[in-house]
């Protein structure tokens, strides 16, 4: 077991390294030169441009840059922003908690709401509850987030005055953004768990359970749901990725701090070290979460535990 | 690593970068003085002739409390010497003071300087300083601090922004005694004293500036009514009352310590969220209210809407004369007749913005009011002018000449600040009616597109400024590497007027010169002026005493919150 | 036939407590109703895209300066926007680019991702290992960031948005296609083909590929929706298009500032997106149910 | 005896997409206390629906009792609410299902699921319930029950799970036990164990058993009475002995023939039932069986026969009398045949060299296999360590002669299918040599290998999975032709038509798709594809196992017919020993990757030399009612091929094993003519 986890961790490390490599290469290949953003090309002399390129180190061959970047990365040095020479890592560390809080709250919300809706929907298949639950679920994945976010904001903040419209201090400011993002997650979960419930309900052992005289409640909640949730657990990893991505938009809408906004801005400014840093960082988070999911999966599902 | 020689143009670039990177405020931006183009998020500052639309209060101010104030964009840095953004000024104005201040009547009044004299040749200014002032870090304010502040702007390693342009043609300081200083200029300038009122030339604490170096923008220390507390990137900036303050200028209602304990500036770029946070009372005030909300908020008894006109160069569309056929006057005139600016302004700004008629805004010295209503849209005339040039209407309604379609490449920046993208949309439709196909390109990378590649037929820009001398940069034949002249206009007569205007001592003559300039610009259709931007603040009724200075920046010292 | 009348009566009386997961035949076929509705929506939107001039009452570019931000009325069923354009006509015309973004991203992403996945799954071995590591790696980069980076680098154009959205979807398609290819490759009829002596490529082309496509098809259907959403997200982040006839995402993104004063300007484009994505999702779900042998009802 | 369960005129409807379907029509049956009743029928006959109707589980599956009554101990089950039923299920009536692997919730321990049931019905403390469960597991013969309690279903073998399932069913002392195909998914050896257990438990718990099976052998073995269902109606019901001795319905008769006949001579044509079971949505008029009935008359076609009782038994047939006369006549001749056969055997024993059977000795070997091994690496084994392998085929040597049918039997996990696939080079051998004709196969690759494939073809177990669902029948059958021969479209069409006809299908079927066909028809399509290139050799891997009894016989006949016509050589792999015996000239028995015995078919069945072979044979339930013999039920289960026992691999289960067996691996030794076995102490 420990060995299996170690193995996973090792391959995860490779994936992280790979993703940073990939980003490096993509950003390298994309048109545009970070120097453009720093210097006025129409007035600068070629020497000035060359010297700036040299100072930034972008004049070296790709492999040298790569080696340099990874060498520093291994020492925990994420480099400095090209634009304001702020060190990248502290910047990420400063902004990550807000994004994490958002992602975690939305994931929690989507799991709770999603599972609830899915169960209602599956248990009352083809009844009106099913219809409502499915539509709610589908709406979650059918609405552009910035729109649903603004709608929620107008309703709950401006109109009803229940919750703050923006900011990233305190749980109250978390509610609306998390609800907006959670709606998406809930949509995915409803679909997944409902399908998986319907599949489980067709399994033979459900007939056995009924033939034992168990109440429908036990059959559905103690047995069917638990089985149906197992595949849904794998979704949590995916969900966290989804939430991190959603943060890019949501953080802007609700004026929250977070790495989503930082990376969006950095991409637009071709601030490579910042983009790199955030992506490597989020890749690490993604991989960690998935590793955790895999490990917990084997605890939840006895079949997997045996195979491991 | 970042050193700039050419002060005239580079700031533009940096402003663009700063906006693009609005999330990454801080001390990184290099550059020096100059203009503000549309790519940036706020107005570059300068002084303004327009009087503030402040709010006089008869009631007794309430001591204490916190004002929350939503900003539309994030400041780039709080270092006056380096900032390029108006939004930054609005924040650091609370922390810093200037030597002098300009009142509603364009008169220069004392602030940190008590009196001043100008040498006869106009090449040096001598200031007497207040002796009872100290910085928030307890550094004493004296001639040394003034010298340090201005020399620091000249120092290339500071990577000064707009401040360098404002300071020009300053060369050096002489400390006469602890509280007397003489500033030397390279050439006489009619604008220098006025420019000293600009927030970019605020006096900084030498101790702190040396200590923090390029991180001073994140740890600003001045003599202002508030002192810096914290800056959480993308979230908020907090300042608290400076209890020792008692040197406010006569232009503000409260010269003593501020009434407020604290101001928290929240950074809320999304319009709906910003307005929503005022409406939900999460913040007490929010700046830059979109026109449609202005209309709605004005009728809401729970809120007040404060408005201050900004002055300088209005938002104008520059027609690139390097491009055919726009190098021909008739073609530009066709645009002038074809674009119905009145409708545009009415449609988009719902009566909250003024239509611009000249290269200058109304409040500015030398503004030529006779130009107002001098241009009326006339599609038929436009068509006729184009016909004369040989552009005939083709089968698809677009004019052609020699098999070439008449197209106009309209470049605008993103995001859609002040609905400028929407202007493009309307212009596109209006010009389609006279047979011009407008290709609108919205780009984040204005820098490359417009300034580097010169790849546009029309590009819009504006600048908040005080003195008509601002026209120089935009309409004088461009020096190599200078970037302001977006229209690429080059006319000896125009150049001469602009040079004269910079030094002319006679007010009346000077006004006449600038009227000629404006007339020329209009007659030659160098630009299409569109609108004058008003700075707007929506606030709860409990916010009292919020006034604006001559530039349209809010003054927080007199603000209090009524319980 | 003698029916036990009492038993029947009892059964009917107790209907309410009959277990919930029974699917009674008397249930009105909701899912079918859903699908019919979805197909109708998609068909209508497709019609809008193909022949907007038949449906839209006004030109989408016509600006009626005297009727700005008019609430929905008989003359303007969806009201007018801040330019004085008829929102209904805008929505009708805007369907074209929205559908284009949705469809083309799916086609491009599906083709590339599908090819990678199919080859990886079928060839297997180190080839698979390497490709899948790359895909795993791509998966760790949030799609929107990839799209953002590509869109930012290449500038806003319809093609670039399609490319950006498509490339962020590639890993998903590759994964699914690979899984399906491997699953199909283990089917007895593949062994049968091998035992007959069909060549490796022949098996791939004739058996594996055709049988592996259905999950990809399902995913692609669902992907149309998410592509449109991703496109509108880019537009929100300022990388959208400014065309004479804006797509729905742009309409929505640009109209969002007017939500409190003229709700109809962005509500209708928003509803159009939601409706289309909803319809496409319903269709996708239905397709999956139809194509997944496990889920087929006996 | 008192009646425990009474079903009267039960009709069941199902809601489907195409509307209401009547799945069960006027079924009546009774079970007395202590009685075992078998419900027999092929798939689709309504056996399982009947059992679910009794449990009222139908309500959960689109089903509806449309008429009739079910009384359990006087209680009308059709009138009870689900709540009331819940207190009966598991308590008064309990059920055992076909697939033990799927019948347990995989995420809870066995113990949890047992205790859950006990505490649902009885007020016991958790501890008491736990102890009770342990004793139940012990009773059903599960070793180390305390450990098993804490294990998850996936950790137990199928046989163990079925025992646990039985324990679960017994946990609250039910009066009626419904067992739905309880042994179908299990190996014959385990099947025998389970059946024996059921019988014991019936006595001990004084239960009645309703046993549902398609296997007449099982019915013959344990039933007191048998009810035969056909297409949702009772065709016949009678005390077991009487039913097997004198079936009153042609369908029963047909079933008996299809099975019993498997004991007959190789080459003999089986008496199968023509056609296949009708689908519920397209039932014929009149007697449902008439399209397949040799006695069918116009009356049968128009009028459904009622179930007529006579002498304590009942049948629904207009022509019972005709049938009885015909049977009597045949019985005589059959007995003569058997006598003849035994005479021959006696002769053979006396004079082994002069075998009375035409020996295929003269024909040369088509396949020569020597030292063949196929190992699979276990997943998850880490590099650096000695790798764990599954030894699926371990040092196997034998030969298949030209023109013969070589049968291969063994329990699941014995490696027989792997052996077949390796022979056909569908998987690469780990070691060893395979000669096919005059070619060495193990080294062949690419085009050369594809060329050889023309001569060796395969018929698959799963008639559903082995046909590409997207191809029409013509393309499926034409695929080998397309690959290996250059034919014009019309030539190909012609060939396909001929192939279809040769497997007994209509040439017009070429344009249809696999899903439009029944299992038997699909298997015919598979056969047509296999013979399309006129191969020399055909591997039939469990080719009839998935088919209904009546259809099995048809396919077996077809295979034999084709062998004669085309001179094919077969390797016939099956776990059903009867079919293998009927088809094969020689049979090999595999156990844990080893061939333990090879002998001519009849010889093997009459004089098995290996104890394993003997146990296998003894496990076969026989439809012959007189054959209720004492069995050497094979104890235990087949060990994992990843860790095979030392010495003789069978020693762990062998009743005769000695210390030597534990240490020394027996070689294949000649026992008699053509007969080799790997046993230190051959029988």
What are the sequence ranges of the domains in chain B? 2-7+50-263+542-561, 312-532
| Neighbour count for residue D449 (Cβ, 10 Å) | 14
CB pairs under 8 A between C and D: 117
Q: Say whether domain B2-7+50-263+542-561 belongs to CATH 3.30.565.10.
A: no
Residue B329, pLDDT score: 92
Residue D22, pLDDT score: 84
**Residue D260 resides in a domain:** yes
Neighbours of chain B (3+ CB pairs under 8 A): A, C
Neighbours of chain C (3+ CB pairs under 8 A): A, B, D
Residue of A nearest to B272 (CA): A150
CB–CB of B246/B257 below 8 Å? yes
| Neighbour count for residue B109 (Cβ, 10 Å) | 14
In degrees to the nearest 10, what's the CA dihedral of A292, A293, A299, A302? -150
Domain check: are A40 and A99 in the same one? no
Q: Do A248 and C232 touch (CB under 8 A)?
A: no
Domains of chain C: 78-291 (1.10.3720.10)
Given CA atoms D5, D9, D15, D18 in this order, what sign does their dihedral have? positive
> What 3-state class would DSSP assign to B261?
coil
What values do phi and psi take at A284, rounded to 5? -60, -45
Are C and D touching by the rule of 3+ CB pairs within 8 Å?
yes
CB–CB of A18/C134 below 8 Å? yes
CA angle, residues D98, D100, D102, in degrees to nearest 5: 95
- Taking 70 as the threshold, does the pLDDT of residue A4 lie above it? no
Chain A neighbors of D155, CB-CB under 8 A? 302, 306
Q: What is the CATH number of the domain that holds D238?
A: 3.40.50.300
Q: Which residue range is the domain that position A225 belongs to?
A: 95-269
List, in sequence order, every residue forming a beta bridge with A151; answer none if it has no partner.
none
**Residue D215 resides in a domain:** no
CB–CB of D416/D410 below 8 Å? yes
Tell me which residue of B234, B241, B297, B312 sits closest to B48, measured CA to CA. B312
> What 3-state class would DSSP assign to B353?
coil
Q: Do D78 and C207 touch (CB under 8 A)?
A: no
| Neighbour count for residue D556 (Cβ, 10 Å) | 24
Domain check: are A34 and A153 in the same one? no
- Taking 90 as the threshold, does the pLDDT of residue A205 lie above it? no
- Taking 80 as the threshold, does the pLDDT of residue B325 lie above it? yes
Measured distance CA(B157)–CA(B164) in Å, rounded: 12
User: Using one digit for the tens of pLDDT, what is the confidence trace for D456-482?
Assistant: 899 988 877 888 888 889 999 999 988
User: Using one digit for the tens of pLDDT, what is the confidence trace for D574-593?
Assistant: 877 778 888 888 999 999 88
Which of A85, A167, A253 has its CB closest to that of B270? A253
Q: Which residue has the tokens 């088809």?
A: D583
**Residue D117 resides in a domain:** no
Residues of D with CB under 8 A from a CB of A: 52, 55, 57, 60, 82, 85-91, 94-95, 97-99, 102-108, 116-117, 120-121, 152, 154-155, 165, 168, 379-380, 382
Q: Do C188 and D461 touch (CB under 8 A)?
A: yes
Mutate to test the interface with A, among B26, B235, B279 (most CBs of A within 10 A): B235
Measured distance CA(A18)–CA(A22) in Å, rounded: 6
Largest Cα span, chain D: 78
Mean local confidence (pLDDT), D14-19: 74
Please tell me the total count of domains within chain A.
2
| Neighbour count for residue B425 (Cβ, 10 Å) | 26
Measured distance CA(B116)–CA(B127) in Å, rounded: 4
Q: How many residues are recorded in chain D?
A: 683
User: Using one digit for the tens of pLDDT, what is the confidence trace for B9-41?
Assistant: 333 333 333 333 333 322 333 333 333 333 333
DSSP E strand boundaries for B195-349: 226-232, 236-241, 262-267, 285-287, 303-309, 312-319
Given CA atoms A180, A181, A182, A187 in this order, what sign does their dihedral have? positive
User: Using one digit for the tens of pLDDT, what is the confidence trace for B215-253?
Assistant: 888 899 999 999 999 998 888 899 999 999 999 998 888
Are B and D touching by the rule of 3+ CB pairs within 8 Å?
no
Tokens of B201: 């030339």
Mean local confidence (pLDDT), A184-208: 84
Which of C133, C238, C278 has its CB closest to that of A142? C278
pLDDT band for position C104 (cuts 50, 70, 90): very high
Lowest mean pLDDT among A230-244, D19-33, D115-129, D168-182: A230-244
Q: Which residue has the tokens 């001639």?
A: B143
**Residue D198 resides in a domain:** no
Q: Does C254 lie at the interface with B, CB-CB under 8 angstroms?
A: yes
Mutate to test the interface with B, among A50, A145, A149, A166 (most CBs of B within 10 A): A166
Mean local confidence (pLDDT), B195-212: 90
Non-local CB neighbours of B50 within 8 Å, separated by 6+ positions? B308, B309, B310, B311, B361, B362, B363, B550, B552
Mean local confidence (pLDDT), D379-403: 74
User: Using one digit for the tens of pLDDT, what is the confidence trace for A78-131?
Assistant: 777 776 667 888 888 888 888 888 888 888 888 888 888 888 888 887 778 888
Lowest mean pLDDT among A21-25, A30-34, D678-682: A30-34
DSSP per-residue string spanning B459-516? EEEEEE-SSTTHHHHHHSPPPTT----TT----HHHHHHHHHHHH---HHHHHHHHHH
Which of D25, D462, D479 has its CB closest to that of C198? D479
Establish how many alpha carbons lie within 13 A of residue B239's alpha carbon, considering only the half-sphere containing its beta carbon.
Answer: 31
Measured distance CA(A12)–CA(D351) in Å, rounded: 73
Which of D66, D83, D479 has its CB closest to that of C196? D479
The overall average pLDDT reported for chain D is 83
User: Using one digit for the tens of pLDDT, what is the confidence trace for B100-135?
Assistant: 998 877 788 999 999 999 998 889 999 999 999 999
Domain check: are A4 and A111 in the same one? no
The number of angstroms, rounded, from the C-alpha of B495 to the middle of its chain's C-alpha atoms is: 24
User: Using one digit for the tens of pLDDT, what is the confidence trace for D230-246?
Assistant: 888 888 989 988 888 88
Please tell me the total count of domains within chain D.
2
Q: Note if the bond before B169 is cis, omega within 30 degrees.
A: yes
Q: Do A144 and C249 touch (CB under 8 A)?
A: yes
Domain check: are A61 and A12 in the same one? yes
Mean local confidence (pLDDT), B537-555: 87
The overall average pLDDT reported for chain A is 78
Domain check: are A172 and A23 in the same one? no
Residue of A nearest to B415 (CA): A268
Q: Do A212 and D88 touch (CB under 8 A)?
A: no
Q: Do C237 and A252 touch (CB under 8 A)?
A: yes
DSSP E strand boundaries for chain A: none
Q: Do C257 and B292 touch (CB under 8 A)?
A: yes
Q: Does B214 lie at the interface with A, CB-CB under 8 angstroms?
A: yes
Q: Do D94 and A216 touch (CB under 8 A)?
A: no
> What 3-state class would DSSP assign to D38?
strand
Structure-model confidence comparison of residues B122 and A294, the more confident one: B122
> What 3-state class would DSSP assign to D398?
strand
CB–CB of B66/B39 below 8 Å? no
Q: Does D60 lie at the interface with C, CB-CB under 8 angstroms?
A: yes
Tell me which residue of A114, D516, A40 sits closest to B484, measured CA to CA. A40
Q: Which residue range is the domain that position D23 belongs to?
A: 1-88+224-279+287-331
pLDDT band for position C278 (cuts 50, 70, 90): confident
Which of C7, C19, C22 has its CB closest to that of D78? C7
CB–CB of C86/C60 below 8 Å? yes
**Residue A282 resides in a domain:** no
Non-local CB neighbours of D96 within 8 Å, separated by 6+ positions? D162, D165, D166, D169, D177, D178, D179, D180, D182
Q: Which residue has the tokens 């006549």?
A: D329
| Neighbour count for residue C215 (Cβ, 10 Å) | 18
Q: Does D44 lie at the interface with C, CB-CB under 8 angstroms?
A: no
* Share of residues in chain B with pLDDT > 70 (%): 87
Q: Label residue D516 exposed, middle or buried (CB < 10 Å: 0-12, 13-18, 19+).
A: exposed
Mutate to test the interface with B, among A82, A165, A260, A275 (most CBs of B within 10 A): A165
Alpha helix segments (H runs only) across B213-290: 271-279
Residue B19, pLDDT score: 33
User: Using one digit for the tens of pLDDT, what is the confidence trace for B277-295?
Assistant: 888 888 999 998 988 888 8
Q: Which residue has the tokens 């085929």?
A: D393
Non-local CB neighbours of D457 within 8 Å, separated by 6+ positions? C195, C196, D480, D529, D530, D531, D532, D533, D535, D537, D538, D539
Q: Do C149 and A138 touch (CB under 8 A)?
A: no
User: Using one digit for the tens of pLDDT, what is the confidence trace for B74-95?
Assistant: 887 898 887 767 788 889 999 9
Tell me which residue of D179, D220, D136, D165 sits closest to D31, measured CA to CA. D179
Chain C neighbors of B275, CB-CB under 8 A? 260
**Residue A182 resides in a domain:** yes
Q: CA of D511: how far to CAs of A32, C100, D465, D475, in Å?
A: 59, 38, 19, 8
**Residue A82 resides in a domain:** no
Measured distance CA(A28)–CA(D326) in Å, rounded: 90
Are B and C touching by the rule of 3+ CB pairs within 8 Å?
yes
Tell me which residue of C223, C143, C235 sits closest to A244, measured CA to CA. C143
Q: Do A308 and D380 touch (CB under 8 A)?
A: yes
Residue D356, pLDDT score: 41
Chain B neighbors of C260, CB-CB under 8 A? 272, 275-276, 293, 296
> What 3-state class would DSSP assign to D179?
strand
Chain C neighbors of B350, CB-CB under 8 A? 68
Chain B neighbors of A167, CB-CB under 8 A? 235-236, 266, 282
In the CATH hierarchy, which top-level class contains the domain B312-532? alpha beta
Domain check: are A35 and A116 in the same one? no
Residue B243, pLDDT score: 92
Residue A36, pLDDT score: 54
pLDDT band for position B56 (cuts 50, 70, 90): very low
The number of angstroms, rounded, from the C-alpha of B425 to the middle of its chain's C-alpha atoms is: 25
Q: Do D15 and C3 touch (CB under 8 A)?
A: no
Residue A56, pLDDT score: 66
Measured distance CA(C78)–CA(C57) in Å, rounded: 11
Instruction: Report the gap between the CA of D325 and the closest CA in chain C (Å).
Output: 33
Q: Do B4 and A36 touch (CB under 8 A)?
A: no
Residue of D nearest to A302 (CA): D107
Domain check: are A148 and A28 in the same one? no
Chain B neighbors of A43, CB-CB under 8 A? 6, 9-10, 480-483
Of B478-492, C14-28, C70-84, C234-248, highest mean pLDDT: C70-84
Domain check: are A134 and A60 in the same one? no
Residue of C nearest to A138 (CA): C278
């Amino acid at each position: 077991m420990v060995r299996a986890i170690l193995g996973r961790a090792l391959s995860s490390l490779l994936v992280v390294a790979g993703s940073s490599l990939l980003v490096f290469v993509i950003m390298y290949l994309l048109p545009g030169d970070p120097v453009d953003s720093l210097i006025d090309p129409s007035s600068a002399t070629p020497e000035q441009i060359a010297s700036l390129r040299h100072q930034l180190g972008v004049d070296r061959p790709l492999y040298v840059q790569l080696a340099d970047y990874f060498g520093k990365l291994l020492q925990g040095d994420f480099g400095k922003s090209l634009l304001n020479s702020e060190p990248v890592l502290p910047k990420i560390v400063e902004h990550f908690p807000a994004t994490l809080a958002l992602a975690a709250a939305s994931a929690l919300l989507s799991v709770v709401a999603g599972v609830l809706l899915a169960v209602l929907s599956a248990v009352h298949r083809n009844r009106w509850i099913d219809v409502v639950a499915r539509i709610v679920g589908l709406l979650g994945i059918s609405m552009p987030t910035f729109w649903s976010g603004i709608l929620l904001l107008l309703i709950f903040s401006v109109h009803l005055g229940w919750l703050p419209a923006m900011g990233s201090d305190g749980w109250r400011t978390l509610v609306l953004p998390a609800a907006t993002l959670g709606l998406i997650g809930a949509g995915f979960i409803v679909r997944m768990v409902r399908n998986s419930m319907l599949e489980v309900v067709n399994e033979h052992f459900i007939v056995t359970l009924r033939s034992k005289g168990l109440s429908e409640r036990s059959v559905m909640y103690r047995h069917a749901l638990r089985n149906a949730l197992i595949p849904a657990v794998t979704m949590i990893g995916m969900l966290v990725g989804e939430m991190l991505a959603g943060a890019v938009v949501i953080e802007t809408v609700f004026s929250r701090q977070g790495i989503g906004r930082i990376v969006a801005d950095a991409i637009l400014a071709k601030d490579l070290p910042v983009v790199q840093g955030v992506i490597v960082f989020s890749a690490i988070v993604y991989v960690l979460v998935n590793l955790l999911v895999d490990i917990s999966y084997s605890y939840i599902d006895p079949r997997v535990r045996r195979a491991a | 690593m970042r050193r700039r020689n050419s002060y005239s143009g580079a700031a533009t670039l940096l402003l663009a970068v700063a906006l693009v990177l609005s999330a990454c405020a801080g001390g990184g931006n290099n550059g020096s003085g100059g203009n503000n183009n549309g790519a940036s998020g706020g107005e570059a500052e300068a002084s303004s002739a327009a009087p503030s639309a402040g709010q006089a209060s008869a009631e007794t101010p309430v001591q204490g409390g916190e004002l929350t104030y939503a900003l539309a964009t994030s400041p780039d840095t709080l270092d006056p010497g380096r900032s390029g953004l108006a939004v930054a000024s609005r924040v650091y104005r609370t922390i810093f003071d200037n030597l002098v201040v300009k009142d509603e009547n364009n008169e220069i009044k004392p602030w940190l300087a008590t009196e001043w004299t100008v040498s006869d040749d106009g090449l040096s200014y001598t200031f007497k300083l207040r002796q009872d002032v100290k910085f928030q870090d307890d550094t004493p304010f004296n001639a040394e601090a003034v010298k340090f502040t201005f020399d620091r702007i000249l120092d290339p390693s500071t990577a000064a922004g707009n401040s360098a342009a404002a300071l020009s043609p300053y060369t050096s300081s002489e400390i006469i005694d602890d509280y007397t200083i003489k500033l030397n200029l390279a050439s006489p300038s009619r604008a220098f004293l006025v420019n000293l009122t600009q927030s970019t030339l605020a006096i900084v604490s030498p101790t702190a500036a040396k200590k923090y170096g390029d991180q001073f923008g994140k740890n600003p220390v001045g003599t202002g009514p508030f002192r810096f507390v914290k800056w959480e990137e993308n979230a908020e900036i907090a300042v608290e009352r400076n209890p020792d303050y008692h040197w406010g200028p006569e232009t503000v209602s409260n010269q003593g310590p501020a009434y407020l304990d604290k101001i928290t500036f929240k950074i809320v770029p999304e319009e709906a969220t910003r307005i929503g946070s005022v409406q939900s009372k999460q913040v007490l005030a929010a700046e830059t209210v979109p026109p449609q909300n202005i209309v709605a908020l004005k009728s809401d008894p729970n809120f007040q809407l404060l408005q201050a006109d900004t002055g300088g160069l209005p938002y104008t569309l520059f027609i690139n004369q390097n491009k055919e056929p726009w190098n021909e006057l008739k073609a530009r005139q066709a645009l002038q007749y074809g674009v119905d600016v009145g409708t545009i302004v009415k449609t988009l700004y719902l009566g909250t913005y003024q239509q611009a008629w000249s290269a200058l805004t109304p409040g500015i010295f030398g503004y030529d009011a006779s130009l107002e209503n001098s241009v009326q849209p006339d599609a038929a005339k436009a068509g006729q002018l184009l016909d004369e040039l040989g552009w005939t209407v083709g089968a698809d309604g677009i004019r052609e000449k020699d098999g070439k379609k008449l197209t106009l490449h309209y470049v605008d920046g993103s995001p859609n600040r002040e609905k400028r993208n929407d202007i493009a949309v309307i212009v596109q439709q209006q010009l389609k009616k006279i047979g011009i196909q407008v290709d609108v390109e919205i780009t984040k990378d204005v820098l490359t597109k417009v300034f580097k590649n010169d790849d546009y037929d029309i590009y819009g820009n504006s600048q908040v400024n005080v003195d008509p001398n601002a026209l120089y940069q935009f309409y004088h034949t461009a020096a190599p590497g200078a970037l302001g002249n977006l229209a690429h206009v080059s006319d000896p007569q125009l150049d001469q007027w602009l040079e004269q205007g910079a030094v002319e001592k006679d007010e009346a003559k000077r006004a006449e010169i600038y009227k000629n300039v404006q007339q020329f610009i209009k007659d030659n259709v160098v630009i299409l002026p569109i609108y004058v931007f008003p700075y707007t603040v929506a606030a709860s009724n409990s916010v009292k005493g919020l006034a604006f200075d001559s530039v349209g920046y809010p003054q927080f010292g007199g603000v209090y919150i009524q319980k | 036939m003698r029916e036990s009348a009492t038993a029947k009566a009892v059964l009917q009386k107790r209907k309410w407590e009959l277990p919930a997961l029974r699917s009674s035949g008397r249930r009105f076929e909701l899912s079918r109703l859903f699908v019919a509705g979805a197909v109708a929506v998609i068909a209508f939107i497709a019609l809008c895209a193909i022949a907007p001039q038949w449906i839209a009452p006004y030109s989408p570019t016509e600006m009626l300066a005297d009727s700005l931000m008019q609430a929905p009325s008989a003359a303007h069923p969806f009201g007018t926007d801040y330019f004085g354009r008829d929102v209904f006509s805008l929505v009708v015309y805007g369907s074209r680019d929205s559908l284009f973004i949705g469809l083309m991203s799916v086609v491009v992403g599906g083709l590339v991702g599908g090819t990678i996945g199919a080859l990886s799954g079928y060839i297997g071995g180190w080839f698979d290992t390497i490709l899948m590591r790359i895909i795993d790696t791509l998966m760790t980069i949030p799609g929107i960031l990839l799209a953002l980076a590509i869109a930012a680098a290449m500038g806003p154009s319809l093609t670039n948005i399609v490319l950006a959205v498509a490339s962020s979807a590639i890993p998903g398609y590759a994964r699914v296609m690979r899984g399906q290819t491997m699953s199909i490759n283990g089917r007895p009829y593949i062994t049968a083909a091998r035992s007959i002596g069909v060549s490796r490529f022949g098996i791939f082309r004739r058996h594996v590929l055709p049988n592996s496509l259905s999950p990809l098809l399902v995913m692609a259907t669902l992907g149309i929706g998410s592509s449109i959403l991703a496109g509108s997200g880019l537009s929100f982040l300022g990388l959208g298009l400014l065309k004479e006839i804006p797509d729905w995402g742009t309409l929505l993104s640009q109209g969002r500032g007017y939500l409190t004063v003229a709700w109809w300007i962005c509500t209708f484009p928003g509803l159009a997106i939601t409706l289309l994505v909803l319809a496409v999702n319903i269709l996708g779900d239905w397709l999956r149910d139809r194509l997944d042998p496990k889920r087929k009802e006996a | 005896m008192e009646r425990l369960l009474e079903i009267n005129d039960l009709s069941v409807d199902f809601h489907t997409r195409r509307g209401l379907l009547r799945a069960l029509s006027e079924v009546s049956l009774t079970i007395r206390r202590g009685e075992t009743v078998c419900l027999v029928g092929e798939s689709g006959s309504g056996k399982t629906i009947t059992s679910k109707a009794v449990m009222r589980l139908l309500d959960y599956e689109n089903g509806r009792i449309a008429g009739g009554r079910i009384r359990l101990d006087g209680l009308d089950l059709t009138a009870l609410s689900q709540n009331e039923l819940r207190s009966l299920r598991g308590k008064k009536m309990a059920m055992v299902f076909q697939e033990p692997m799927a019948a347990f919730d995989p995420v809870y321990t066995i113990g949890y699921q047992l205790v859950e049931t006990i505490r649902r019905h009885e007020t016991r403390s958790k501890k008491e319930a736990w102890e009770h469960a342990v004793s139940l597991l012990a009773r059903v013969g599960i070793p180390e029950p305390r450990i098993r309690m804490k294990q998850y279903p996936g950790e137990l073998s199928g046989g163990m799970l079925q025992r646990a399932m039985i324990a679960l069913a017994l946990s609250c002392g039910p009066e009626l036990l419904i067992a739905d195909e309880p042994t179908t998914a299990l190996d014959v050896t385990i099947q025998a164990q389970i059946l024996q257990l059921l019988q014991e438990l019936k006595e001990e718990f004084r239960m009645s058993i309703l046993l549902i099976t398609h296997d007449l052998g099982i019915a013959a073995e344990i039933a007191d009475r048998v009810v035969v269902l056909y297409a949702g109606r009772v065709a016949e019901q009678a005390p077991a002995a009487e039913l097997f001795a004198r079936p009153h319905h042609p369908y029963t008769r047909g079933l008996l023939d299809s099975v019993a006949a498997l004991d007959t001579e190789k080459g003999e044509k089986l008496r199968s039932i023509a056609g296949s079971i009708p689908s519920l949505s397209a039932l014929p008029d009149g007697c449902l069986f008439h399209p397949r009935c040799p006695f069918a008359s116009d009356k049968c076609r128009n009028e459904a026969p009622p179930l007529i009782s006579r002498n304590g038994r009942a049948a629904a047939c207009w022509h019972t009398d005709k049938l009885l006369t015909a049977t009597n006549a045949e019985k005589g001749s059959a007995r003569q045949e058997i006598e003849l056969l035994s005479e021959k055997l006696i002769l053979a024993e006396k004079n082994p060299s002069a075998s009375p059977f035409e020996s295929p000795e003269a024909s040369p070997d088509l396949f020569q296999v020597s030292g063949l091994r196929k190992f699979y690496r276990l997943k998850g084994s880490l590099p650096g360590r000695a790798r764990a392998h599954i030894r699926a085929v371990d040092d196997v040597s034998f030969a298949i002669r030209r023109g013969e049918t070589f049968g291969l039997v063994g329990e699941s996990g014995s490696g027989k299918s792997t052996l077949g696939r390796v022979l056909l080079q569908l998987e690469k051998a780990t070691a060893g040599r395979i000669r096919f004709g005059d070619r060495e196969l193990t080294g062949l690759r690419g085009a050369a290998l594809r060329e050889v494939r023309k001569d060796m073809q395969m018929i698959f177990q799963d008639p559903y999975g082995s046909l590409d669902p997207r191809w029409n029948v013509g393309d499926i059958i034409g695929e080998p032709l397309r690959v290996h021969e250059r034919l014009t479209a019309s030539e190909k069409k012609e060939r396909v038509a001929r192939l279809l006809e040769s497997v007994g299908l209509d040439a017009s079927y070429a344009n249809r798709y696999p899903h439009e066909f029944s299992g038997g028809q699909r298997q015919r399509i598979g056969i047509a594809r296999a013979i399309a290139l006129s191969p020399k050799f055909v591997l039939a891997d469990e080719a009839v196992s998935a088919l209904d009894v009546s259809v099995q016989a048809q396919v077996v006949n077809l295979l034999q017919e084709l062998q004669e016509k085309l001179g094919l050589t077969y390797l016939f792999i099956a776990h059903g020993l009867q079919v293998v015996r009927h088809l094969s000239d020689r049979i090999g028995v595999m156990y844990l990757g080893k061939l333990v015995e090879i002998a001519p078919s009849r010889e093997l069945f009459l004089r098995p030399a290996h104890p394993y072979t003997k146990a296998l044979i003894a496990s076969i339930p026989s439809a012959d009612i007189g054959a209720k013999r004492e069995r050497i039920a094979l104890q235990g289960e087949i060990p994992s091929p990843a860790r095979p026992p030392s010495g003789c691999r069978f020693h762990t289960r062998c009743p005769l094993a000695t210390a030597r067996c534990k240490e020394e691996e027996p070689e294949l030794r000649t026992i008699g003519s053509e007969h080799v076995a790997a046993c230190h102490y051959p029988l």
